[in-house]
Amino acid sequence: MTLYALMDCNNFYASCERAFQPQLVGKPIVVLSNNDGCVIARSNEAKALGIAMGVPYWEIKKLIHEHKVHVFSSNYPLYGDMSERIMNIAKDYCGDVEIYSIDESFLKFDTPYNTAEQTCKTLRAKVLQGTGVPVSIGIAPTKTLAKIANHVAKKGVTTGFSGQNTEGVFTLVDTHKMNEILSDFDVSKVWGIGRAYQKSLADYGILTAFDLKNASQTWIKHKFGVVMLRTVKELNGIPCLALEPPIESRQNVMVSRSFRKDVYAFSELTEALSVYATRLGEKLRQYKQTTAQLTIFLWTNPHKRLTFDAKIYFSETIKLPYATSDTAMLIHYALVVLKKIYQPKLNYKKGGILAHDLMSENATQGNLFESMDTALRHKTLMGVMDSMNKKYGKETLQMASCGVQHTWSRQAQFCSAGYTTKWVDILRVK
DNA sequence: TCTGGGGTCCTAGGACCC
DNA sequence: TCTGGGGTCCTAGGACCC
Protein backbone atom coordinates (compact mmCIF):
# COMPACT_ATOMS: atom_id res chain seq x y z
CA MET A 1 0.00 0.00 0.00
CA THR A 2 1.31 3.45 -0.89
CA LEU A 3 1.16 5.96 1.92
CA TYR A 4 2.14 9.58 2.13
CA ALA A 5 3.47 11.15 5.30
CA LEU A 6 3.72 14.84 5.94
CA MET A 7 6.40 15.88 8.38
CA ASP A 8 5.89 19.43 9.62
CA CYS A 9 8.05 21.26 12.16
CA ASN A 10 6.09 22.65 15.08
CA ASN A 11 6.26 26.47 15.23
CA PHE A 12 9.41 26.16 13.15
CA TYR A 13 11.11 29.56 13.47
CA ALA A 14 10.28 29.80 17.16
CA SER A 15 11.57 26.26 17.68
CA CYS A 16 14.84 27.12 15.91
CA GLU A 17 15.43 30.06 18.22
CA ARG A 18 14.61 27.93 21.23
CA ALA A 19 16.95 25.16 20.13
CA PHE A 20 19.89 27.47 20.84
CA GLN A 21 18.47 29.01 23.99
CA PRO A 22 17.11 26.10 26.01
CA GLN A 23 16.33 28.40 28.90
CA LEU A 24 13.39 29.56 26.74
CA VAL A 25 11.64 26.18 26.91
CA GLY A 26 8.14 26.78 28.27
CA LYS A 27 8.42 30.54 27.64
CA PRO A 28 6.42 32.48 25.07
CA ILE A 29 8.38 33.35 21.91
CA VAL A 30 7.45 35.26 18.77
CA VAL A 31 9.43 35.74 15.56
CA LEU A 32 8.84 38.86 13.47
CA SER A 33 8.73 39.35 9.70
CA ASN A 34 11.14 41.46 7.73
CA ASN A 35 11.42 44.99 9.11
CA ASP A 36 10.16 43.63 12.43
CA GLY A 37 6.70 44.23 11.01
CA CYS A 38 4.37 41.35 11.85
CA VAL A 39 4.38 38.18 13.91
CA ILE A 40 5.14 35.22 11.63
CA ALA A 41 5.84 32.48 14.17
CA ARG A 42 4.73 31.84 17.74
CA SER A 43 5.53 29.23 20.33
CA ASN A 44 2.52 27.47 21.87
CA GLU A 45 2.86 29.68 24.94
CA ALA A 46 2.61 32.80 22.76
CA LYS A 47 -0.43 31.35 20.95
CA ALA A 48 -2.04 30.75 24.35
CA LEU A 49 -1.65 34.46 25.10
CA GLY A 50 -3.86 35.13 22.10
CA ILE A 51 -1.14 36.50 19.83
CA ALA A 52 -2.45 35.96 16.31
CA MET A 53 -0.50 35.09 13.19
CA GLY A 54 0.33 38.16 11.11
CA VAL A 55 -0.56 40.72 13.75
CA PRO A 56 1.57 43.91 13.62
CA TYR A 57 4.26 44.01 16.27
CA TRP A 58 3.38 47.48 17.53
CA GLU A 59 -0.17 46.37 18.27
CA ILE A 60 0.98 43.76 20.77
CA LYS A 61 3.94 45.58 22.30
CA LYS A 62 2.14 46.06 25.59
CA LEU A 63 1.11 42.43 25.79
CA ILE A 64 4.66 41.37 25.01
CA HIS A 65 6.02 43.52 27.79
CA GLU A 66 3.44 42.38 30.33
CA HIS A 67 3.97 38.69 29.69
CA LYS A 68 7.72 38.87 29.07
CA VAL A 69 7.37 37.40 25.58
CA HIS A 70 10.75 36.82 23.95
CA VAL A 71 10.94 38.56 20.59
CA PHE A 72 13.17 37.67 17.63
CA SER A 73 13.72 39.24 14.22
CA SER A 74 13.72 36.58 11.53
CA ASN A 75 17.08 34.94 10.93
CA TYR A 76 16.62 33.12 7.63
CA PRO A 77 20.16 31.80 7.23
CA LEU A 78 19.76 30.02 10.58
CA TYR A 79 16.33 28.59 9.73
CA GLY A 80 17.52 27.48 6.30
CA ASP A 81 20.46 25.65 7.81
CA MET A 82 18.33 23.97 10.49
CA SER A 83 15.86 22.96 7.80
CA GLU A 84 18.58 21.27 5.79
CA ARG A 85 19.68 19.26 8.81
CA ILE A 86 16.14 18.11 9.53
CA MET A 87 15.48 17.13 5.90
CA ASN A 88 18.71 15.16 5.82
CA ILE A 89 17.61 13.14 8.85
CA ALA A 90 14.31 12.43 7.07
CA LYS A 91 16.24 11.10 4.08
CA ASP A 92 17.97 8.62 6.40
CA TYR A 93 14.59 7.04 7.16
CA CYS A 94 12.84 7.25 3.82
CA GLY A 95 14.14 6.89 0.29
CA ASP A 96 11.39 9.05 -1.20
CA VAL A 97 11.36 12.55 0.25
CA GLU A 98 9.94 15.72 -1.27
CA ILE A 99 11.04 18.91 0.46
CA TYR A 100 7.89 20.96 0.20
CA SER A 101 8.82 24.09 2.12
CA ILE A 102 11.33 25.26 4.67
CA ASP A 103 9.56 23.33 7.42
CA GLU A 104 7.60 20.60 5.65
CA SER A 105 8.37 17.50 3.67
CA PHE A 106 6.34 14.66 2.18
CA LEU A 107 7.61 11.10 2.56
CA LYS A 108 6.36 8.17 0.51
CA PHE A 109 6.16 4.67 1.94
CA ASP A 110 5.29 1.43 0.17
CA THR A 111 4.89 -0.54 3.37
CA PRO A 112 2.04 -1.60 5.64
CA TYR A 113 0.79 1.35 7.64
CA ASN A 114 2.06 0.13 10.97
CA THR A 115 5.59 -0.17 9.59
CA ALA A 116 5.36 3.37 8.18
CA GLU A 117 4.05 4.61 11.49
CA GLN A 118 6.87 2.99 13.43
CA THR A 119 9.46 4.49 11.08
CA CYS A 120 7.91 7.94 11.52
CA LYS A 121 7.97 7.63 15.30
CA THR A 122 11.67 6.83 15.19
CA LEU A 123 12.28 9.67 12.72
CA ARG A 124 10.45 12.11 14.96
CA ALA A 125 12.59 11.12 17.95
CA LYS A 126 15.81 11.41 15.91
CA VAL A 127 14.95 14.90 14.65
CA LEU A 128 14.22 16.05 18.17
CA GLN A 129 17.42 14.53 19.48
CA GLY A 130 19.57 15.79 16.61
CA THR A 131 18.24 19.33 16.24
CA GLY A 132 16.00 20.12 19.20
CA VAL A 133 13.09 20.87 16.87
CA PRO A 134 9.81 19.00 17.53
CA VAL A 135 7.98 17.75 14.43
CA SER A 136 4.52 16.29 13.80
CA ILE A 137 3.89 13.61 11.20
CA GLY A 138 0.59 12.68 9.56
CA ILE A 139 0.25 9.50 7.48
CA ALA A 140 -2.54 8.79 4.95
CA PRO A 141 -3.23 7.41 1.46
CA THR A 142 -2.97 10.85 -0.24
CA LYS A 143 -1.04 14.06 0.34
CA THR A 144 -4.20 16.05 1.08
CA LEU A 145 -5.28 13.52 3.71
CA ALA A 146 -1.74 13.42 5.11
CA LYS A 147 -2.01 17.16 5.67
CA ILE A 148 -5.18 16.58 7.68
CA ALA A 149 -3.58 13.71 9.60
CA ASN A 150 -0.75 16.09 10.40
CA HIS A 151 -3.19 18.57 11.96
CA VAL A 152 -4.48 15.77 14.16
CA ALA A 153 -0.95 14.71 15.08
CA LYS A 154 -0.12 18.28 16.07
CA LYS A 155 -3.30 18.89 18.05
CA GLY A 156 -3.05 15.48 19.67
CA VAL A 157 0.17 16.40 21.38
CA THR A 158 -1.05 19.63 22.84
CA THR A 159 -4.80 19.50 23.25
CA GLY A 160 -5.97 15.95 22.68
CA PHE A 161 -7.93 16.56 19.46
CA SER A 162 -10.74 14.00 19.19
CA GLY A 163 -9.38 12.35 22.27
CA GLN A 164 -6.23 11.25 20.42
CA ASN A 165 -2.95 10.80 22.13
CA THR A 166 -0.82 10.84 19.02
CA GLU A 167 2.69 11.39 20.33
CA GLY A 168 3.25 13.57 17.32
CA VAL A 169 2.49 10.85 14.73
CA PHE A 170 -1.00 10.07 13.48
CA THR A 171 -2.17 7.62 10.82
CA LEU A 172 -5.41 8.16 8.93
CA VAL A 173 -6.39 5.00 7.03
CA ASP A 174 -9.52 3.68 8.72
CA THR A 175 -12.59 4.84 6.75
CA HIS A 176 -14.85 5.18 9.75
CA LYS A 177 -12.28 7.20 11.68
CA MET A 178 -11.58 9.27 8.59
CA ASN A 179 -15.20 10.31 8.16
CA GLU A 180 -15.42 11.20 11.83
CA ILE A 181 -12.36 13.43 11.63
CA LEU A 182 -13.31 15.01 8.30
CA SER A 183 -16.76 15.91 9.67
CA ASP A 184 -15.08 17.88 12.42
CA PHE A 185 -12.55 19.56 10.09
CA ASP A 186 -13.27 23.06 8.77
CA VAL A 187 -13.14 23.10 4.97
CA SER A 188 -10.93 26.20 4.95
CA LYS A 189 -8.16 24.22 6.62
CA VAL A 190 -8.09 21.70 3.77
CA TRP A 191 -4.96 22.05 1.64
CA GLY A 192 -5.93 24.04 -1.47
CA ILE A 193 -9.00 25.72 0.01
CA GLY A 194 -8.30 29.34 0.83
CA ARG A 195 -10.51 32.18 1.96
CA ALA A 196 -12.12 32.89 -1.39
CA TYR A 197 -13.11 29.27 -1.98
CA GLN A 198 -14.27 28.87 1.59
CA LYS A 199 -16.71 31.70 1.04
CA SER A 200 -18.19 30.36 -2.20
CA LEU A 201 -18.35 26.81 -0.84
CA ALA A 202 -20.25 28.05 2.20
CA ASP A 203 -22.91 29.44 -0.15
CA TYR A 204 -23.61 25.86 -1.16
CA GLY A 205 -23.58 24.54 2.38
CA ILE A 206 -20.14 22.96 2.13
CA LEU A 207 -18.56 23.71 5.48
CA THR A 208 -16.44 20.73 6.43
CA ALA A 209 -13.89 18.50 4.76
CA PHE A 210 -16.53 15.76 4.88
CA ASP A 211 -19.00 17.92 2.92
CA LEU A 212 -16.36 18.63 0.30
CA LYS A 213 -15.37 14.98 0.06
CA ASN A 214 -18.97 14.07 -0.77
CA ALA A 215 -19.70 16.91 -3.19
CA SER A 216 -20.50 16.02 -6.80
CA GLN A 217 -17.23 15.87 -8.71
CA THR A 218 -18.71 17.00 -12.02
CA TRP A 219 -20.27 19.98 -10.30
CA ILE A 220 -16.99 20.84 -8.53
CA LYS A 221 -15.06 20.67 -11.81
CA HIS A 222 -17.59 22.83 -13.60
CA LYS A 223 -17.92 25.37 -10.81
CA PHE A 224 -14.35 25.56 -9.46
CA GLY A 225 -12.04 23.92 -11.99
CA VAL A 226 -9.60 21.06 -12.04
CA VAL A 227 -7.52 22.12 -9.07
CA MET A 228 -10.36 21.69 -6.61
CA LEU A 229 -11.49 18.52 -8.36
CA ARG A 230 -8.11 17.04 -7.50
CA THR A 231 -8.57 18.06 -3.89
CA VAL A 232 -11.95 16.32 -3.75
CA LYS A 233 -10.51 13.14 -5.24
CA GLU A 234 -7.64 13.21 -2.78
CA LEU A 235 -10.12 13.53 0.08
CA ASN A 236 -11.71 10.37 -1.28
CA GLY A 237 -8.40 8.58 -1.01
CA ILE A 238 -7.57 8.71 -4.72
CA PRO A 239 -4.01 10.05 -5.08
CA CYS A 240 -3.79 12.83 -7.69
CA LEU A 241 -0.70 14.54 -6.36
CA ALA A 242 2.55 12.62 -6.61
CA LEU A 243 5.82 13.32 -4.87
CA GLU A 244 7.40 16.17 -6.82
CA PRO A 245 11.06 16.06 -7.85
CA PRO A 246 13.24 18.89 -6.53
CA ILE A 247 12.86 22.12 -8.46
CA GLU A 248 15.98 22.74 -10.46
CA SER A 249 14.89 25.84 -12.29
CA ARG A 250 12.31 28.45 -11.55
CA GLN A 251 9.95 30.37 -13.78
CA ASN A 252 10.19 33.65 -11.92
CA VAL A 253 12.59 35.08 -9.42
CA MET A 254 11.62 38.06 -7.34
CA VAL A 255 13.30 40.29 -4.81
CA SER A 256 11.13 42.76 -2.95
CA ARG A 257 11.31 44.37 0.45
CA SER A 258 9.46 46.95 2.47
CA PHE A 259 11.46 49.97 3.46
CA ARG A 260 12.13 50.92 7.04
CA LYS A 261 10.25 54.20 6.58
CA ASP A 262 8.36 55.99 3.84
CA VAL A 263 10.84 56.91 1.11
CA TYR A 264 10.45 59.95 -1.13
CA ALA A 265 13.90 60.49 -2.64
CA PHE A 266 14.89 59.13 -6.02
CA SER A 267 18.43 58.59 -4.72
CA GLU A 268 17.25 56.26 -1.98
CA LEU A 269 15.10 54.28 -4.41
CA THR A 270 18.12 54.02 -6.71
CA GLU A 271 20.13 52.45 -3.90
CA ALA A 272 17.33 50.10 -2.92
CA LEU A 273 16.64 48.91 -6.46
CA SER A 274 20.37 48.47 -7.07
CA VAL A 275 20.64 46.26 -4.00
CA TYR A 276 17.57 44.26 -5.01
CA ALA A 277 18.89 43.84 -8.56
CA THR A 278 22.20 42.66 -7.10
CA ARG A 279 20.41 40.07 -5.00
CA LEU A 280 18.38 39.06 -8.05
CA GLY A 281 21.58 38.47 -10.01
CA GLU A 282 22.95 36.30 -7.19
CA LYS A 283 19.80 34.20 -7.16
CA LEU A 284 19.84 33.80 -10.95
CA ARG A 285 23.47 32.70 -10.94
CA GLN A 286 22.79 30.34 -8.07
CA TYR A 287 20.04 28.64 -10.11
CA LYS A 288 22.23 28.87 -13.25
CA GLN A 289 19.55 30.85 -15.05
CA THR A 290 19.28 34.06 -17.04
CA THR A 291 16.46 36.51 -17.70
CA ALA A 292 15.53 38.66 -20.65
CA GLN A 293 12.62 40.47 -19.03
CA LEU A 294 12.39 42.51 -15.85
CA THR A 295 9.47 44.09 -14.06
CA ILE A 296 10.12 46.84 -11.54
CA PHE A 297 7.50 47.57 -8.86
CA LEU A 298 6.94 50.39 -6.43
CA TRP A 299 4.23 50.48 -3.78
CA THR A 300 3.28 53.57 -1.88
CA ASN A 301 2.27 53.18 1.75
CA PRO A 302 -1.26 51.71 1.64
CA HIS A 303 -1.89 52.79 5.23
CA LYS A 304 -1.11 56.38 4.46
CA ARG A 305 -2.74 57.15 1.13
CA LEU A 306 -2.54 60.72 -0.04
CA THR A 307 -6.14 60.59 -1.22
CA PHE A 308 -8.86 58.06 -0.55
CA ASP A 309 -8.56 56.21 -3.85
CA ALA A 310 -4.95 57.01 -4.67
CA LYS A 311 -3.11 54.44 -6.75
CA ILE A 312 -0.63 52.55 -4.61
CA TYR A 313 1.00 50.21 -7.10
CA PHE A 314 3.28 51.24 -9.95
CA SER A 315 5.08 48.86 -12.26
CA GLU A 316 6.59 48.54 -15.66
CA THR A 317 8.21 45.74 -17.62
CA ILE A 318 11.24 45.98 -19.87
CA LYS A 319 12.71 43.53 -22.35
CA LEU A 320 16.50 43.23 -22.19
CA PRO A 321 18.49 43.06 -25.42
CA TYR A 322 19.62 39.57 -24.45
CA ALA A 323 19.24 37.10 -21.59
CA THR A 324 21.67 37.70 -18.77
CA SER A 325 22.40 37.25 -15.07
CA ASP A 326 25.01 40.00 -15.02
CA THR A 327 24.48 42.32 -12.06
CA ALA A 328 25.66 45.43 -13.87
CA MET A 329 23.12 44.82 -16.65
CA LEU A 330 20.30 44.09 -14.22
CA ILE A 331 21.01 47.28 -12.26
CA HIS A 332 21.27 49.32 -15.43
CA TYR A 333 17.85 48.29 -16.73
CA ALA A 334 16.23 48.38 -13.30
CA LEU A 335 17.26 52.01 -13.01
CA VAL A 336 16.07 52.81 -16.54
CA VAL A 337 12.60 51.63 -15.55
CA LEU A 338 12.75 53.24 -12.12
CA LYS A 339 13.37 56.58 -13.77
CA LYS A 340 10.25 56.09 -15.88
CA ILE A 341 7.87 55.14 -13.09
CA TYR A 342 9.21 57.35 -10.31
CA GLN A 343 7.02 60.28 -9.31
CA PRO A 344 8.22 62.84 -6.82
CA LYS A 345 6.28 63.54 -3.62
CA LEU A 346 4.92 60.01 -3.26
CA ASN A 347 5.50 58.05 -0.06
CA TYR A 348 7.01 54.79 -1.28
CA LYS A 349 6.98 51.96 1.21
CA LYS A 350 8.09 49.00 -0.82
CA GLY A 351 9.98 48.22 -3.99
CA GLY A 352 10.73 45.10 -5.95
CA ILE A 353 12.18 43.54 -9.05
CA LEU A 354 10.88 40.46 -10.84
CA ALA A 355 12.71 38.45 -13.48
CA HIS A 356 10.52 36.33 -15.74
CA ASP A 357 10.80 33.98 -18.69
CA LEU A 358 13.90 32.50 -17.16
CA MET A 359 16.21 30.38 -19.27
CA SER A 360 18.89 27.94 -18.40
CA GLU A 361 22.35 29.49 -18.51
CA ASN A 362 23.45 26.86 -21.05
CA ALA A 363 20.50 27.47 -23.34
CA THR A 364 21.11 31.21 -23.38
CA GLN A 365 22.13 32.25 -26.83
CA GLY A 366 25.08 34.46 -27.49
CA ASN A 367 24.11 37.89 -28.73
CA LEU A 368 25.14 40.24 -31.45
CA PHE A 369 25.90 43.13 -29.15
CA GLU A 370 28.32 41.51 -26.81
CA SER A 371 31.35 39.60 -28.01
CA MET A 372 32.16 36.20 -26.53
CA ASP A 373 35.18 37.82 -24.98
CA THR A 374 33.20 40.46 -23.09
CA ALA A 375 30.62 37.89 -22.02
CA LEU A 376 33.34 35.72 -20.56
CA ARG A 377 34.85 38.69 -18.71
CA HIS A 378 31.46 39.53 -17.19
CA LYS A 379 31.00 35.96 -16.12
CA THR A 380 34.42 35.84 -14.48
CA LEU A 381 33.76 39.12 -12.68
CA MET A 382 30.43 37.86 -11.33
CA GLY A 383 32.11 34.65 -10.21
CA VAL A 384 34.72 36.61 -8.28
CA MET A 385 32.08 38.84 -6.67
CA ASP A 386 29.99 35.86 -5.62
CA SER A 387 32.88 33.98 -4.06
CA MET A 388 34.31 37.05 -2.28
CA ASN A 389 30.90 37.91 -0.86
CA LYS A 390 30.37 34.35 0.25
CA LYS A 391 33.75 34.19 1.93
CA TYR A 392 33.99 37.63 3.53
CA GLY A 393 30.32 38.45 4.03
CA LYS A 394 27.75 39.92 1.70
CA GLU A 395 28.38 43.40 0.33
CA THR A 396 32.16 42.95 0.54
CA LEU A 397 32.14 43.71 -3.17
CA GLN A 398 29.23 45.58 -4.69
CA MET A 399 28.29 48.03 -7.39
CA ALA A 400 28.64 51.72 -6.57
CA SER A 401 24.97 52.52 -7.11
CA CYS A 402 24.08 50.30 -4.15
CA GLY A 403 25.39 53.00 -1.84
CA VAL A 404 26.49 52.56 1.76
CA GLN A 405 24.09 54.52 3.95
CA HIS A 406 21.02 52.38 3.38
CA THR A 407 18.75 54.71 5.30
CA TRP A 408 15.82 52.84 3.76
CA SER A 409 16.82 49.30 4.53
CA ARG A 410 15.35 46.77 6.88
CA GLN A 411 15.23 46.93 10.59
CA ALA A 412 16.05 43.83 12.60
CA GLN A 413 16.43 44.81 16.21
CA PHE A 414 16.12 41.37 17.71
CA CYS A 415 18.14 39.14 15.42
CA SER A 416 19.67 36.07 17.00
CA ALA A 417 23.19 34.94 16.15
CA GLY A 418 24.11 32.78 13.15
CA TYR A 419 24.82 29.82 15.44
CA THR A 420 25.30 27.37 12.63
CA THR A 421 26.06 29.66 9.74
CA LYS A 422 28.74 32.08 10.98
CA TRP A 423 31.98 31.02 12.61
CA VAL A 424 32.01 34.04 14.93
CA ASP A 425 28.58 33.08 16.29
CA ILE A 426 29.32 29.45 16.99
CA LEU A 427 28.16 28.30 20.42
CA ARG A 428 30.84 28.11 23.07
CA VAL A 429 30.54 25.29 25.58
CA LYS A 430 32.16 26.12 28.85
C1' DT B 1 6.44 55.94 14.64
C1' DC B 2 5.33 50.84 13.62
C1' DT B 3 1.37 46.49 9.03
C1' DG B 4 6.32 40.26 5.32
C1' DG B 5 8.32 37.96 1.20
C1' DG B 6 8.44 34.67 -2.53
C1' DG B 7 6.51 31.47 -5.24
C1' DT B 8 3.00 28.23 -8.40
C1' DC B 9 -0.91 27.00 -11.34
C1' DC B 10 -5.17 27.91 -13.89
C1' DT B 11 -8.47 30.53 -16.66
C1' DA B 12 -10.42 34.02 -19.52
C1' DG B 13 -10.01 36.93 -23.18
C1' DG B 14 -7.72 39.32 -26.99
C1' DA B 15 -4.62 39.21 -31.04
C1' DC B 16 -3.42 36.81 -34.76
C1' DC B 17 -3.23 33.15 -38.20
C1' DC B 18 -4.99 29.93 -41.70
C1' DT C 1 -29.53 38.47 -48.91
C1' DC C 2 -25.70 35.81 -47.29
C1' DT C 3 -20.55 37.24 -43.15
C1' DG C 4 -16.77 30.49 -40.17
C1' DG C 5 -14.27 27.95 -37.13
C1' DG C 6 -10.48 26.47 -34.81
C1' DG C 7 -5.96 26.77 -33.28
C1' DT C 8 -1.91 29.10 -30.75
C1' DC C 9 0.27 32.49 -28.11
C1' DC C 10 0.35 36.02 -24.80
C1' DT C 11 -1.13 38.66 -20.81
C1' DA C 12 -3.67 39.88 -16.78
C1' DG C 13 -5.76 38.50 -12.91
C1' DG C 14 -7.32 35.39 -9.43
C1' DA C 15 -6.76 31.58 -6.65
C1' DC C 16 -3.68 28.99 -3.74
C1' DC C 17 0.68 27.67 -0.86
C1' DC C 18 4.42 28.37 2.85
What are the pLDDT tens digits along chain A (430 aa)?
899 999 999 999 999 999 999 899 999 999 999 889 999 999 999 999 999 999 999 999 999 999 999 999 999 999 999 999 999 999 999 999 999 999 999 999 999 999 999 999 999 999 999 999 999 999 999 999 999 999 999 986 544 444 556 779 999 999 999 999 999 999 999 999 999 999 999 999 999 999 999 999 999 999 999 999 999 999 999 999 999 988 888 888 999 999 988 999 999 999 999 999 999 999 999 989 999 889 998 888 888 877 777 778 888 888 888 889 999 999 999 999 999 889 898 889 999 999 988 888 877 655 555 666 777 777 888 888 888 777 777 677 778 778 877 887 777 888 888 888 777 777 766 6
Whole-number Å distance, CA A149 to C1' C16? Answer: 20
Q: Which bases on strand C have an atom closer than 7 Å to a protein beta carbon?
A: 12, 14-18
State the SS3 of A241-290: CCCCCCCCCCCCEEEEEEEEEEECCHHHHHHHHHHHHHHHHHHHHHCCEE
CA distances from A421 to A10, A42, A82 (A): 22, 23, 10
Residues near strand C (C-beta below 7 A) are: A 100-104, 147, 190-198, 317
Backbone torsion region of residue A21, taken as left when φ is above 0, otherwise alpha when ψ lies between -120 and 50, otherwise beta? beta
Q: List the alpha helices (DSSP H) in A70-174.
A: 76-93, 113-131, 143-158
Kindly list the protein residues whose beta carbon lies within 7 Å of any strand B atom: A 33-35, 37-38, 40, 54, 56-58, 225-227, 247, 250-258, 261-262, 283, 301, 303-304, 349-350, 352, 410
pTM of this structure: 0.90
Cα–Cα distance, A156 to A149 (Å, whole number): 10
Q: How does strand A104-109 pair with strand A313-324?
A: unpaired
